[in-house]
């Protein structure tokens, strides 16, 4: 087998990672245009975001297939799916087609993203893997930070369809380069728990579907209860299966550790509050404050871009204060930021009143991600460190899905899109719910026990398998 070339591998995997990370948030500033152009409402907009995130979250869990089929082969297949789904999204004539295309796009992204790290780690000599991991993290962070800005710029300069069209030539070039630039590799063959994957996917889909449709159809309607109850049953069946199967998608024994359970709960809470709030705030900035898509993206940079500046400062803070205190501090900053927004927002609120809140929330996010990654791996059994990282990332994505669904439900119960005041009336209670969740998370963070003695060896080890990859929130 030919030795992988580090630079060529990084070119393909880095650009692919940036593209997939970008599509987590690139759609946010296009949502008002999509609502108008396709004649949809809040539910359609929620699914435009959630269809991508939901399939992404569920399909991150079963990574065994890459070791069996070949990592380069599966990477190319996932990239082809992502590129084709991007074209389908751009061509969507109605909201239903767009949502279906976004779901397929998320499936492709879930295949591509973890394999970018696996392929890169295999191509880089052990002595330089720390540098490679930093470069990988930078590409992921840039994708998340620039998503709203690029989405706004493209929507304003052309139409919302172009936020998906731009993926097509990039994907085509990567597909042409990948066979020659990447080297095939495989891992130990593992059995794929297909039944477990189907159970968790169906269960989460049923719960989210019920939450999204509750305000429109009523919480006790047959449609809503017909989604929530079967969803809960499927999730319970998933847990029961994972407790007894030999090779589970999600090894339940990891949750016997209080530390592992708490830090994963914090990941879900943070994503629930912050990204559920982002979904509504971007629409507030455009619909109520009459910002253009580009203006909204640029003016959200004090929030979305701050983690890139703050994250490098977390290592000395962790050394001085410890993981538990840094996580509590991060969540306290986020609580303060959203509380500030909830208190000052009105139809006539000036952008300057929002900037301090954006900075506080952005600092909190920057302080959150490095210690949570360290804690997840530190509290997991060393032999399950890769699975632990995949579980954490999936729960973070599910938190985003639930945040958009629940905060969207609160918004719909109290407000609507008809007037600036009606939008603000719905936004404020949704933000206060997010504040309450983050405040509870701040207190819960203090329950994190000390990291076990093996933690430093685990967290400094470069991941070698697909399921170890970190994804953006």
C-alpha 392 chain-centroid distance: 11
The pLDDT of residue 80 is: 96
Confidence of residue 466 (pLDDT cuts 50, 70, 90): very low
pLDDT at 216 over 50: yes
Task: Return the closest-CA partner of residue 51 out of 180, 170, 201, 199.
Answer: 201
Please give the DSSP secondary-structure letter assigned to residue 219: T
Cα 49 to Cα 40: distance, rounded to the nearest angstrom: 13
Per the prediction, the chain carries an average pLDDT of 84
What's the token pair of residue 143? Answer: 């994708």
The pLDDT of residue 255 is: 86
Better-scored residue on pLDDT, 282 or 465:
282
Better-scored residue on pLDDT, 67 or 363:
363
Of the ranges 68-82, 330-344, 453-467, which is most confident? 330-344
Contact assessment for residue 224 and residue 214, using Cβ atoms and an 8 Å cutoff: yes
Tokens 């159970």 appear where?
A: 199
Confidence of residue 471 (pLDDT cuts 50, 70, 90): very low
pLDDT digits (tens, 9 = 90+) for 371-380: 887 888 788 8
Average pLDDT in the 293-310 region? 86
Please give the DSSP secondary-structure letter assigned to residue 39: T
Cα 344 to Cα 281: distance, rounded to the nearest angstrom: 13
pLDDT at 69 over 90: no
* H helix runs in 345-384, sequence order: 351-379
The pLDDT of residue 183 is: 83
What angle in degrees, to the nearest 10, is found between the helix axes of 71-90 and 167-181?
Answer: 170
pLDDT digits (tens, 9 = 90+) for 327-359: 999 999 999 999 999 999 999 999 999 999 999
pLDDT at 423 over 60: yes
Cα 143 to Cα 148: distance, rounded to the nearest angstrom: 9
pLDDT at 203 over 90: no
Task: Return the closest-CA partner of residue 274 out of 36, 119, 472.
Answer: 472
The pLDDT of residue 453 is: 59
pLDDT digits (tens, 9 = 90+) for 390-399: 777 778 878 8
What's the token pair of residue 227? Answer: 């989604």
Length of the chain: 473
What's the token pair of residue 395? Answer: 């729960």
Confidence of residue 459 (pLDDT cuts 50, 70, 90): very low
The pLDDT of residue 130 is: 61
Domains (range + CATH), the chain = 1-190 (1.20.1250.20), 194-246 (no CATH), 253-473 (1.20.1250.20)
Is the Cα torsion angle 447, 452, 458, 460 positive or negative in sign?
positive
What's the token pair of residue 220? Answer: 């006790």
pLDDT at 253 over 70: yes
Please give the DSSP secondary-structure letter assigned to residue 191: -
Cα 87 to Cα 82: distance, rounded to the nearest angstrom: 9
Please give the DSSP secondary-structure letter assigned to residue 246: S
Burial of 138 (0-12, 13-18, 19+ CB in 10 A): middle
The pLDDT of residue 460 is: 42
DSSP string for residues in 87-103? HHHHT-SSHHHHHHHHH
Cα 153 to Cα 29: distance, rounded to the nearest angstrom: 9
Confidence of residue 436 (pLDDT cuts 50, 70, 90): very high
Contact assessment for residue 13 and residue 120, using Cβ atoms and an 8 Å cutoff: yes
Confidence of residue 51 (pLDDT cuts 50, 70, 90): confident
Contact assessment for residue 239 and residue 252, using Cβ atoms and an 8 Å cutoff: yes
Tokens 């632990």 appear where?
A: 388
C-alpha 340 chain-centroid distance: 24
Q: What pTM was estimated for this model as a whole?
A: 0.80
pLDDT at 156 over 80: yes
Cα 24 to Cα 150: distance, rounded to the nearest angstrom: 12
Count Cβ neighbours within 10 Å for each residue of 277-306 and write b for 16 or more, e otherwise: bbbbbbbbbbbbbebebbbbbbbbbbbbbb
Which of 87-101, 122-136, 429-443 is predicted with the least confidence, judged by mean pLDDT? 122-136
pLDDT at 135 over 80: no
- Which residues are CB-neighbours of 13 under 8 A, at least 6 positions away? 115, 116, 117, 119, 120, 136, 182
Average pLDDT in the 444-459 region? 71
Average pLDDT in the 122-147 region? 74
Cα 106 to Cα 20: distance, rounded to the nearest angstrom: 9
pLDDT at 143 over 90: no
Of the ranges 9-18, 137-146, 168-177, 292-301, which is most confident? 168-177
Better-scored residue on pLDDT, 219 or 174:
174
Tell me the percentage of the chain whose pLDDT exceeds 90. 35
Cα 245 to Cα 209: distance, rounded to the nearest angstrom: 28
Cβ neighbour number for residue 183 with a 10 Å cutoff: 17
Cα 193 to Cα 26: distance, rounded to the nearest angstrom: 32
What's the token pair of residue 426? Answer: 């719905």
Confidence of residue 125 (pLDDT cuts 50, 70, 90): confident
Better-scored residue on pLDDT, 197 or 364:
364
Tokens 């600036």 appear where?
A: 420
Better-scored residue on pLDDT, 462 or 339:
339
Q: 174 by DSSP, 3-state: which?
A: helix
Contact assessment for residue 46 and residue 212, using Cβ atoms and an 8 Å cutoff: yes
Cα 434 to Cα 280: distance, rounded to the nearest angstrom: 12
Which of 79-83, 165-169, 313-317, 461-465 is predicted with the least confidence, judged by mean pLDDT? 461-465
The pLDDT of residue 188 is: 58
Average pLDDT in the 228-241 region? 91
Better-scored residue on pLDDT, 421 or 26:
421
Contact assessment for residue 451 and residue 377, using Cβ atoms and an 8 Å cutoff: no
What's the token pair of residue 439? Answer: 């405040």
The pLDDT of residue 65 is: 61
């Amino acid at each position: 087998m030919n030795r992988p070339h580090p630079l060529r591998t990084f070119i393909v995997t880095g650009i692919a990672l940036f593209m997939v990370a970008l599509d987590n948030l690139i759609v946010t500033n296009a949502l008002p245009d999509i609502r108008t152009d396709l004649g949809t409402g809040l539910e359609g907009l929620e699914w435009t975001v959630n269809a991508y995130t939901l399939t992404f979250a569920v399909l991150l869990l079963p990574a065994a297939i890459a070791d069996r089929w070949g990592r380069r082969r599966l990477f190319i297949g996932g990239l082809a799916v992502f590129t084709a789904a991007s074209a389908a999204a751009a061509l969507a004539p109605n909201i239903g087609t767009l949502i279906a295309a976004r779901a397929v796009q998320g499936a492709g992204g879930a295949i591509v993203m973890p394999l970018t790290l696996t392929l890169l780690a295999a191509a880089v000599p052990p002595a330089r893997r720390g540098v490679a991991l930093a470069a990988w993290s930078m590409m992921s962070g840039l994708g998340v930070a620039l998503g709203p800005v690029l989405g706004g710029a493209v929507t304003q300069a052309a139409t919302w369809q172009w936020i998906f069209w731009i993926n097509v030539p990039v994907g085509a070039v990567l597909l042409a380069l990948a066979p020659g630039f990447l080297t095939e590799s495989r891992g130990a063959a593992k059995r794929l728990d297909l039944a477990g994957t189907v159970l968790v996917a169906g269960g989460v889909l049923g719960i989210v579907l019920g939450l999204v449709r509750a305000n429109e159809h009523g919480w006790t309607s047959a449609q809503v209860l017909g989604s929530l109850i079967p969803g809960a049953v499927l999730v319970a069946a998933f847990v029961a299966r994972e407790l007894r199967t030999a090779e589970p998608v999600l090894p339940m024994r990891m949750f016997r550790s209080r530390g592992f359970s708490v830090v994963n709960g914090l990941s879900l809470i943070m994503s629930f509050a912050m990204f559920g709030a982002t979904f509504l705030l971007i629409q507030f900035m455009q619909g109520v404050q009459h910002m253009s898509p580009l203006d909204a993206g640029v003016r959200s940079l004090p929030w979305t871009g701050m983690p890139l500046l703050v994250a490098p400062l977390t290592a000395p803070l962790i050394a001085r204060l410890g993981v538990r205190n840094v996580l509590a501090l991060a969540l306290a900053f986020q609580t303060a930021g959203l509380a500030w927004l909830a208190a000052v927002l009105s139809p006539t609120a000036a952008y300057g009143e929002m900037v301090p809140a954006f900075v506080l929330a952005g600092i909190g996010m920057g302080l959150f991600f490095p210690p949570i990654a360290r804690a997840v791996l530190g509290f997991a059994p060393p032999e399950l460190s890769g699975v632990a990282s995949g579980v954490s990332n999936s729960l973070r994505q599910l938190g985003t899905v639930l945040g958009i669904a629940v905060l969207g439900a609160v918004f719909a119960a109290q407000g609507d899109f008809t007037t600036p005041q009606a939008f603000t009336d719905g936004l404020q209670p949704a933000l206060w719910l997010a504040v309450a969740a983050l405040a509870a998370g701040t207190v819960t963070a203090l329950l994190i026990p000390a990291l076990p003695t093996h933690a430093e060896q685990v967290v400094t080890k470069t991941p070698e398998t697909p399921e170890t990859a970190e994804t953006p929130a």
